[in-house]
Amino acid sequence: MSEIPCQKNEELRLKIVEFAEVLKREAHKLGEHGLDEEDFYQSGLFRGAIERVRGQFSASMKEKRGFVAQMLDQMRFGGFIKDWSSAGEANRHDYAVTLNNDRTAIIELKGCLDGNNTNIFERPPHADEFVIWSVCSNPGADPRHNVWSGIHTRLSAEMIDRNQRIDGLVVWDWICGTSARPCPKLKDETRRCEVGQYKLPPPCIYLFPATVPSPRNNPRPRLNRIEDVGILQAMMDCFGGRGDELHEVEIEVAHQGPDTVRKTTIRRDGAVLKQSELTPIRRS
């Protein structure tokens, strides 16, 4: 049992590591720079090119935005939400969704959740509900590592430390259900949902505490249920999710000497998938 049902493709991972070594070793043979091996690596050409390509991948938001837009459109056409808009230009990479009951759900789009950037979010004042959507476009990424890092190390610490309420998390992108990240939900292939060029398994949904955990007054906040978070309910219904596939993220906080400590527990269908100890929040 693990924090997310899917896992990285180990074979692919191995090939990536091997190929990275080949690249480092043989890169000087490519292109027409006219440099010999030593000069090539001395010149900064290799390093610079690698950084450039990497930067392009991590900074470019086009494909991610396009993906989210298509999914939200699908939900709108299907009548699962009333409307949506991108708050992107003015604010952050956020989406505001008007639910069928006219409540406002705010979505913060994030990447792979591993990295300090995951700590940067702000629940806007007009949000009736606030969720984070992880879109990880790297086929070589490790979803288990990333989901745990994201939920426990980054988000739970930020929620407590900065008093931020997050109602839930969606982990869902176009790598889901491909050979790079096989999805066990697709044991039944008929569950694939066709949206534009994508053929996707249902999203992975995590329900978070309904209130901000706080050692003194709120040490064990009650969790949201799916019907409490309209945008998550809508995603589940639109894309064929099942109740027994929902994840619950319980966060327990306490004081322990000078430290604030928290215990994170991830459950699915009642079963504990992963649980931390009561670990201190370290913030400099």
Partner DNA sequence: AATTGCCACGGGCTAATACT
Partner DNA sequence: AGTATTAGCCCGTGGCAATT
114 near DNA, judged by CB under 7 A: yes
Which pair of structure tokens corresponds to residue 2?
């693990």
Could you say which residues in the range 263-282 bind DNA, by CB under 7 A?
276, 279-282
Cα 264 from Cα 251, distance rounded (Å): 5
Query: Is residue 110 involved in binding DNA (CB under 7 A)?
Result: yes
* The dihedral sign for the CA sequence 224, 225, 228, 232: positive
The answer to the question of residue 255 lying near DNA (CB under 7 A) is no
Rounded to whole angstroms, how far apart are CA atoms 127 and 193?
A: 29
- Choose, by CB under 7 A, the member of 29, 38, 59, 190 that binds DNA: 59
- Tell whether residue 283 is a contact of DNA (CB under 7 A): yes
The answer to whether residue 66 forms part of the interface with DNA (CB under 7 A) is no
Identity of the amino acid at 110: K
d(CA 240, CA 80): 12
Q: Which CB, 115 or 219, lies closer to DNA?
A: 115
Kindly state the smallest distance separating residue 55's Cβ from DNA, in Å.
Answer: 3
Q: Is 24 in the site for DNA (CB under 7 A)?
A: no
Q: How far is CA 88 from CA 4, 61, 94, 95, 99, in A?
A: 29, 11, 5, 7, 19
Indicate the SS3 state at residue 196. coil
CB of 269 to DNA, least distance (A): 23
Interacting residues of 62 by C-beta distance below 8 A, sequence separation 6+: none
Q: How far is CA 252 from CA 16, 123, 194, 198, 206, in A?
A: 38, 21, 39, 38, 16
Q: Which residue from 13, 82, 92, 165 is in contact with DNA, where contact means CB under 7 A?
A: 92
Q: Does 51 bind DNA (CB under 7 A)?
A: yes
- Residue of the chain from 55, 66, 78, 184 that contacts DNA (CB under 7 A): 55
Query: x/- binding map, residues 124-163, to DNA, per CB under 7 A?
Result: ------------xxx-xx----x-xx--xxx--x------
Nearest distance in Å: CB 148, DNA? 6
Closest CA to 228 of 166, 155, 161: 166
Residue 54 interacts with DNA (CB under 7 A): yes or no:
yes
Task: Identify which range of 23-31, 52-60, 75-83, 203-211 contacts DNA by CB under 7 A.
Answer: 52-60
257 is a site residue for DNA (CB under 7 A): no
Beta strands, E only, 139-238: 168-171, 193-195, 198-200, 204-207
CA 137 to CA 140: how far, in whole Å? 9
Positions in the binding site for DNA (CB under 7 A): 20, 48, 51-52, 54-62, 88-89, 92-93, 109-112, 114-117, 119-120, 136-138, 140-141, 146, 148-149, 152-154, 157, 276, 279-284
